[in-house]
Amino acid sequence: MSHPRIFVHIPAYRDRECQWTLRDMFERARHPDRVFAGVCWQTDPVEDTDCFLIRPCPAQVRTANFHIREARGLGWARAKAQSLWQGEEYSLQIDSHMRFADDWDEQMIDLLAACDSPDPVLTLYPASYQPPDTRENFDRPRVQMIRRFLPNGLLEFGTEPVPDGAPADRPMPTAAVAGAFIVGSARILRDAPSDPDIYFNGEEPNLAVRLWTAGFDLFSPHVTVLYHYYLRKDGARHWNDAISRETQELTARTLRRLRLLCEPEAFPPEEVAELGRYGLGTRRSLAEYEAFAGVSFTARSIASQARSYPWVRPATVRDALALPDTLGPAPGTQLFVLGEEGVLFAEEKGTLHRLNQAAARNWCALEAGWGSERIAADAAAARGITTDAAMAELRELAAHWIGEGLLRDTAAAPATGPRLDPARFAFRCRDYRLLDTVVRLRFGDATLEALIHPAFAHLQVDSAGSTPAATLTMVRILDWHYIFAGDEMLLLADTPRKLVPKLKAEVMARAINRHDHVLHLHSAAVMHAGRLVLFPAGSGNGKTLLAARLLSLGCEYFSDEAVLLRRDGTVRPIQAALSVKTGGLEALEPHFPGLSALPEHDREDGVTVHYLPPPRERLPPPGRTARPAVVVFPRYEPGAAPRLRPVPPADALGRLLDECLAIPRRLDTEAVATIVETVERASCWELVTGELDAAARQVMALAEQAG
Partner 1 sequence: MSAFDFFDDIWCIHHAAYPARWAVMQARLTRLGIGGRVRRFPFVPSPADERIGRALSHRRIVQDAAERGLRSVLAIEDETLFLDRTEEVLAGAAAELRGRAWRLLHLGTWRGSDGLAAEPGCAHLRQTGGRAGPHAVAYGAAVFADLLARMPMNFGAMQEYLGANGSIDAILDGLGPAFVVHPAVATVPFSLPFQEPADQQRFVP
CB of 479 vs partner 1, minimal distance in Å: 5
CB of 480 vs partner 1, minimal distance in Å: 5
- Residues contacting partner 1: total by CB under 8 A: 31
CB of 460 vs partner 1, minimal distance in Å: 26
Indicate whether 139 belongs to the interface with partner 1 (CB under 8 A): no
Stretch that binds partner 1, among 209-217, 350-358, 400-408, 419-427 (CB under 8 A): 419-427
- Closest CB to partner 1 among residues 11, 221: 221
- Closest CB to partner 1 among residues 78, 481: 481
CB of 449 vs partner 1, minimal distance in Å: 18
Indicate whether 402 belongs to the interface with partner 1 (CB under 8 A): no
Q: Please identify which residue in 59, 320, 322, 464 interacts with partner 1, judged by CB under 8 A.
A: 320
Q: Please identify which residue in 36, 125, 363, 484 interacts with partner 1, judged by CB under 8 A.
A: 484
Q: Please identify which residue in 381, 382, 411, 477 interacts with partner 1, judged by CB under 8 A.
A: 477
**Alpha helices (H) along 475-539:** 499-513
**Alpha helices (H) along 314-367:** 315-320, 357-367
Indicate whether 489 belongs to the interface with partner 1 (CB under 8 A): yes
Binding mask 420-459 for partner 1 (x = CB under 8 A): xx--x-----------------------------------
Q: Please identify which residue in 1, 53, 113, 478 interacts with partner 1, judged by CB under 8 A.
A: 478
Indicate whether 316 belongs to the interface with partner 1 (CB under 8 A): yes
Strands 35-43 and 6-13: parallel
Cis before 310 (ω within 30): yes
Q: Which of 257, 126, 269, 107 is nearest to 196 (CA)?
A: 257
Q: Please identify which residue in 131, 418, 538, 654 interacts with partner 1, judged by CB under 8 A.
A: 418
Residues with Cβ within 8 Å of 406's Cβ and at least 6 positions away in sequence, in order, are 329, 330, 333, 344, 346, 353
Burial 632-661 (b: 16+ CB within 10 A, else e): bbbbbeeeeebeeeebebeebbebbbebbe
Stretch that binds partner 1, among 5-13, 51-59, 176-184, 314-322 (CB under 8 A): 314-322
Binding mask 163-192 for partner 1 (x = CB under 8 A): xxxxx-------------------------
Stretch that binds partner 1, among 272-280, 413-421, 526-534, 558-566 (CB under 8 A): 413-421
Query: Dihedral of CA 242/248/250/251: which sign?
Result: positive
Residue 337 is inside which H or E element, if any?
A: strand 333-338
Enumerate residues 253-312 that contact partner 1 by CB under 8 A.
308-310
Q: Read off φ and ψ for residue 400, nearest 5 degrees.
A: -65, -45
CB of 424 vs partner 1, minimal distance in Å: 7
CB of 312 vs partner 1, minimal distance in Å: 11
Decide: helix, strand or coil at residue 421: coil
Indicate whether 694 belongs to the interface with partner 1 (CB under 8 A): no
Binding mask 490-529 for partner 1 (x = CB under 8 A): --x-x-----------------------------------
Question: Alpha-carbon distance 406 to 391, whole Å?
Answer: 19
- In angstroms, what is the C-alpha Rg of the chain? 29
CB of 160 vs partner 1, minimal distance in Å: 10
Beta-ladder partners of 160: 143
Query: Dihedral of CA 23/25/27/31: which sign?
Result: negative
Q: Which of 208, 206, 232 is nearest to 218 (CA)?
A: 208
Cα–chain center distance at 611: 30
- Closest CB to partner 1 among residues 243, 423: 423
Q: Residue 112 carries which side chain, given as an amino acid letter?
A: L
Residue 439 CB neighbours (<10 A): 24
Question: Alpha-carbon distance 329 to 368, whole Å?
Answer: 10
Beta-ladder partners of 151: none
Indicate whether 597 belongs to the interface with partner 1 (CB under 8 A): no
CB of 164 vs partner 1, minimal distance in Å: 6
Q: 398 and 320 in contact (C-beta within 8 Å)?
A: no
Indicate whether 317 belongs to the interface with partner 1 (CB under 8 A): yes
Question: Alpha-carbon distance 359 to 379, whole Å?
Answer: 10
Indicate whether 606 belongs to the interface with partner 1 (CB under 8 A): no
CB of 487 vs partner 1, minimal distance in Å: 10
Q: 542 and 632 in contact (C-beta within 8 Å)?
A: no
Cis before 4 (ω within 30): no
Binding site for partner 1 (CB under 8 A): 163-167, 308-310, 313-314, 316-317, 320, 413, 416-421, 424, 475, 477-480, 482, 484, 489, 492, 494
